[in-house]
Structure 1
Amino acid sequence: MAKARAQLLAIHQDDIREDDAEQTLDESGDPLEESGRTVDSSDEEVEESVAEDIARFEDSFVGINKRYRLINRIGEGTFSTVYKAEDLEYNNFDNRWDIDEHESRKWASPSSRKRLLKRPHYVAIKKIYVTSSPMRIFNELELLYDLKHSDSVCPLITAFRHHDQVVAVLPYFQHRDFRDYYRDMKIPEMRLYFRSLFTALRSVHAKKILHRDIKPTNFLYNPQYSRGVLVDFGLAEREGTDWHPCACTQTPEDRRYRISHSHYAQIQHQPPSYPKNETRNSRRANRAGTRGFRAPEVLLKCTQQNTSIDMWSAGVILLTILSRRFPFFHSTDDIDALLEITTIFGRKKLKETSLLHGQVFETNIPSYSDGGHSLEKIILWCTGRSSKDEGTGLKKELEDDEKEAVQFLYRLMECDPTKRITADEALRHPFIARAFEDSEGDDDMDLVGV
């Protein structure tokens, strides 16, 4: 997308005093870079640099190799590194978290159960970087503990600290790199993928927790079993944390009154201009997450964000799969991100959304239309079906099941968070509900429970 000027102006003064440059939480890693590091590797495929990294970790964390045999590095992000390890003391503890083990034993013969006890059991060891604040680490471990019995959510087994180094021990889940399968997913497979994801989000949101970093690399999915687990709660927080009044929570009447009596309303009929000296306080809000997956209200610095931000991010994943483009959005900053959304939804929708949160959105890009483009058209463009059919001369259209997916996508990518579908509603939506019909009678389609 071409660079152009866009501007965000606050309609009213907030009760927030910090400078805009001071952000509350950090940005997660680039989704394209991260996805290349989530591939599950066999024990033999250990690169020399990874082996050296493991050796350094074992030297710095005294005693870790007595309880776990580190095998390989399976993930690396902005705030942590994850290793696959064998649990050397597995049989000495209660392992109710191990759903796969329970399922295996349930159907195994007595002789097979003895063999199961002797086989190696794997865990994922998450080494949290020492640059992370103590409060961030405590928050992540506390939320993981609270979610330990939640469906399709990766539970916390235990945690250790050695000096300033903290590690969290989590179940090890077999999964595939999102980039290996998303282009080949059919609609029935999409239903199963999102049934599992929204099952996890329903559990998380029921406890009033915002994950804040929903993206493919944080949902470990196994297409073979049509199930996945939600991981990485490093940016998660409880709903209501550090909230300040935002216009989006006011009644429509109060919001209209405030807008009509704002500085913005007074200069509507004047030539566009920029103040030489800005005297209003800057607005500070939580912007944690990953570029391309942030909801409009996050980009617009809403100070009362809720669980609906995760639903927008899930919608971006669905748009990615339907369009066969990853990452779909790839902006360099928040202004570019808003412009990318404007390309699809149009200037009118973005202006309305901005006013909803007490902000003004203006852009001087002439190519942006007021109405934007339909998601159907976007998907047809991205999948090379924008031209007419050579045989019939008719305009190409989406298949019926694709149209149903797009209607569901509109509910997820609703710019107004108050109108956005919830995780519980999503599981009852016809698009997801049909996943139960597709998997009826298949015993391998069970959701992951912990």
Structure 2
Amino acid sequence: MDNEEIAAEAAQLYRDVPVLAGAYEIVDRIGEGTFSTVYKARDLRGKVTARYGAHFWGAGTSQQRYVALKKIYVTSSPQRIYNELSLLYALSGCPRVAPLCDAARVRDQVVAVMPYYPHEEFRNFYRDLPIKGVKMYMWELLQALSFVHSHGIIHRDVKPTNFLYNPELGKGVLVDFGLAETQTDYNKERAGESPEGENSLRDCRSQEQFCPCIMRDSASAATPQHGAMITIQNGKVVHLNSPQGIDLTKGYPKNETRRVKRANRAGTRGFRAPEVLMKCGSQTTKIDIWSVGVILLSLLGRRFPMFQSLDDTEALLELCAIFGWKTIRKCAVLHGLGFDVSGLHYIREDPYPHGLKDFVYELLDRECEAGTFPEYSVAFETHAYLAQELHDRGSIEPQLPATREPGSTDQETDAYELKKYQEDVWTDHYWCFQLLEQCFEMDPQKRSSAQELLQGAFFNELLESEINTEIESTDDDDDAEVVSSSENEMSDNDVLLIRED
């Protein structure tokens, strides 16, 4: 980065937000996105780094005193800015979620201050992370999401660039809550929760964001005959599990009186869950779990980005290529939609016989044949496991060192250790693929939560170890300052976003 360019940007930011000048020294630009630019800066006063010490990795090093200044563009919606900052402040109790340490606003300039996390770009390590590293990466990510989801918040933009990970430290942190939102409690809106039954059903149906998927639980339906699925034809309720059910592949009926279906579709292409692509109005925290699955698929298949569609239609076709169009059609029915594919011979009708294991093996096998992996690549472990699991090729028995004399004790020790390591790797792969399948459950109600995934067998060794998962409080320092200046130091145009009472 050009030092003169950075110095010019820093000077402009100091002019726009004068209170930053005496508190933070900008040293570099570390990121730039659609809604913001992020700078690396020194915390000159040391109050932020002192109060949020748990968030500064590598304590005792020079990295400890760096913070990240996020300059939010004036083109961002005021509501979006307020939403992001308020969520960051509310979620400041978890070391795996980047907290809002400080914030200032001068007229239309908004700057948020967060810890600086020394991390590695996902592109630099996703092909080289061994299965134990994959386990730690997923552990950190799911721990962060479990905390966020426990507060009823959907992140909506889970992807590698929003999860800063340090492979050497085995630490990660979830960032960028610009698209996050609070989850609606759809259980309270179900018809069966109310004695009015049919009237409540009509009230739900009249909402723009209504989706039939929330009405299919017979335990919460007003009456048994309202069972699994409903839609509307010619202004009348039609039960899809009845003999008179309609053919959803024909699209909207001619005299459809239902409102246009609207739903939040925010997120990054390639990471959107099927219910987002299908404009489901009852989206939950489970959309984040699907995104976790996409990241895990990239780590196992050693391919990133995994999906590269330009629009929702292409995205659904990409899913068909893996899960089969029949699976996607069943998923569409859950949301009261039709789905039909014709004339595309490369699209699968049924999913792979062995699920995602077959798909990952196909990806790795092509690269092995092309010779794109270096000889030391950890991808060969996954490929060998899948070859054994799916095609009974090769063996889990390790190759004995050729340099030892027959009968050597050292040789026997090495063989035992190698075999033990191999069996451990095989076990990790087995449970890792089970975790992958759980993330890609098409029905969001059946898709596992972050907390449920953390309790899975894949993480047994971490659950049994004494890894500290306690949430650290940062409220003990009563004298800590959350804004970079006092009210007396600020002009009439300065507005404090956060302050200590």
Same-fold status (TM-score > 0.5): yes
Q: State the alpha-carbon separation in 2 of the partners of residues 171 and 214 from structure 1.
A: 19
When residues 431 and 120 of structure 1 are mapped into structure 2, their CA distance, relative to the original with a 3 A threshold, is closer
Q: State the alpha-carbon separation in 2 of the partners of residues 198 and 273 from structure 1.
A: 38
Q: Which segments of 5 or more consecutive residues in structure 1 lack a partner in the other structure?
A: 1-44, 106-115
Q: State the alpha-carbon separation in 1 of the partners of residues 137 and 312 from structure 2.
A: 29
Structure 1 residue 207 corresponds to structure 2 residue 172: no
Alignment of 1:253-402 (within 5 A): 254=226, 256=228, 258=230, 262=238, 268=247, 281-364=259-342, 365-373=344-352, 374-384=355-365, 396=393, 399-402=426-429
Structure 1 residue 422 corresponds to structure 2 residue 449: yes
* Superposed CA offset, 1:36-55 (max 9, x none): xxxxxxxxx54554444333
When residues 218 and 103 of structure 1 are mapped into structure 2, their CA distance, relative to the original with a 3 A threshold, is closer
**Given that residues 99 and 448 in structure 1 are in contact (C-alpha distance below 8 angstroms), is that contact kept between their aligned partners in structure 2?**
no
Q: State the alpha-carbon separation in 1 of the partners of residues 271 and 91 from structure 2.
A: 23
Q: Counterpart of 1:174? A: 118
Alignment of 1:146-225 (within 5 A): 146-225=90-169
Q: State the alpha-carbon separation in 2 of the partners of residues 64 and 176 from structure 1.
A: 28
Structure 1 residue 251 corresponds to structure 2 residue 251: no
**Given that residues 142 and 451 in structure 2 are in contact (C-alpha distance below 8 angstroms), is that contact kept between their aligned partners in structure 1?**
yes
When residues 378 and 449 of structure 1 are mapped into structure 2, their CA distance, relative to the original with a 3 A threshold, is farther
Q: State the alpha-carbon separation in 1 of the partners of residues 52 and 361 from structure 2.
A: 43
* Superposed CA offset, 1:266-316 (max 9, x none): 76499x689899876421110111000011111111111111111110110
Structure 1 residue 127 corresponds to structure 2 residue 68: no
Counterpart code for 2:19: G
Counterpart code for 1:226: G
Q: Which of 20, 25, 29 is equivalent to 1:73?
A: 29
**Given that residues 87 and 120 in structure 1 are in contact (C-alpha distance below 8 angstroms), is that contact kept between their aligned partners in structure 2?**
no
Q: State the alpha-carbon separation in 2 of the partners of residues 310 and 298 from structure 1.
A: 11
When residues 275 and 158 of structure 1 are mapped into structure 2, their CA distance, relative to the original with a 3 A threshold, is same
**Given that residues 208 and 261 in structure 2 are in contact (C-alpha distance below 8 angstroms), is that contact kept between their aligned partners in structure 1?**
no
**Given that residues 230 and 238 in structure 2 are in contact (C-alpha distance below 8 angstroms), is that contact kept between their aligned partners in structure 1?**
yes
Q: Counterpart of 1:96? A: 51
Structure 1 residue 54 corresponds to structure 2 residue 10: yes
Q: Which of 24, 27, 38 is equivalent to 1:82?
A: 38
**Given that residues 176 and 222 in structure 1 are in contact (C-alpha distance below 8 angstroms), is that contact kept between their aligned partners in structure 2?**
yes
Q: Which has the higher contact order (CA 8 A, sep 6+)?
A: 1
Q: CA deviation at 1:408?
A: 1.0
**Given that residues 300 and 354 in structure 1 are in contact (C-alpha distance below 8 angstroms), is that contact kept between their aligned partners in structure 2?**
yes
When residues 156 and 369 of structure 1 are mapped into structure 2, their CA distance, relative to the original with a 3 A threshold, is same
Q: Counterpart of 2:460? A: 433
When residues 161 and 138 of structure 1 are mapped into structure 2, their CA distance, relative to the original with a 3 A threshold, is same
Give the aligned length: 387
**Given that residues 84 and 177 in structure 2 are in contact (C-alpha distance below 8 angstroms), is that contact kept between their aligned partners in structure 1?**
yes
SS in structure 2 at match of 1:71: strand
Q: State the alpha-carbon separation in 2 of the partners of residues 83 and 94 from structure 1.
A: 16
Q: CA deviation at 1:77?
A: 1.5
Q: CA deviation at 1:66?
A: 2.0
Q: Which segments of 5 or more consecutive residues in structure 2 lack a partner in the other structure?
A: 186-206, 219-225, 370-382, 397-425, 474-501
Q: State the alpha-carbon separation in 2 of the partners of residues 191 and 361 from structure 1.
A: 36
Q: Identity, % of aligned pairs?
A: 43
SS in structure 1 at match of 2:68: strand
SS in structure 2 at match of 1:377: helix
Larger mean Cα displacement after TM superposition, 277-286 or 183-192: 277-286
Larger mean Cα displacement after TM superposition, 278-287 or 338-347: 278-287
SS in structure 1 at match of 2:267: coil
Aligned Cα RMSD in Å? 3.4
Q: State the alpha-carbon separation in 2 of the partners of residues 125 and 165 from structure 1.
A: 12
**Given that residues 248 and 336 in structure 2 are in contact (C-alpha distance below 8 angstroms), is that contact kept between their aligned partners in structure 1?**
no
Larger-Rg structure: 2
Q: CA deviation at 1:259?
A: 5.0
**Given that residues 247 and 255 in structure 1 are in contact (C-alpha distance below 8 angstroms), is that contact kept between their aligned partners in structure 2?**
no
Q: State the alpha-carbon separation in 1 of the partners of residues 96 and 34 from structure 2.
A: 23
Counterpart code for 1:375: L
Q: State the alpha-carbon separation in 2 of the partners of residues 96 and 243 from structure 1.
A: 45
Q: State the alpha-carbon separation in 1 of the partners of residues 469 and 29 from structure 2.
A: 28
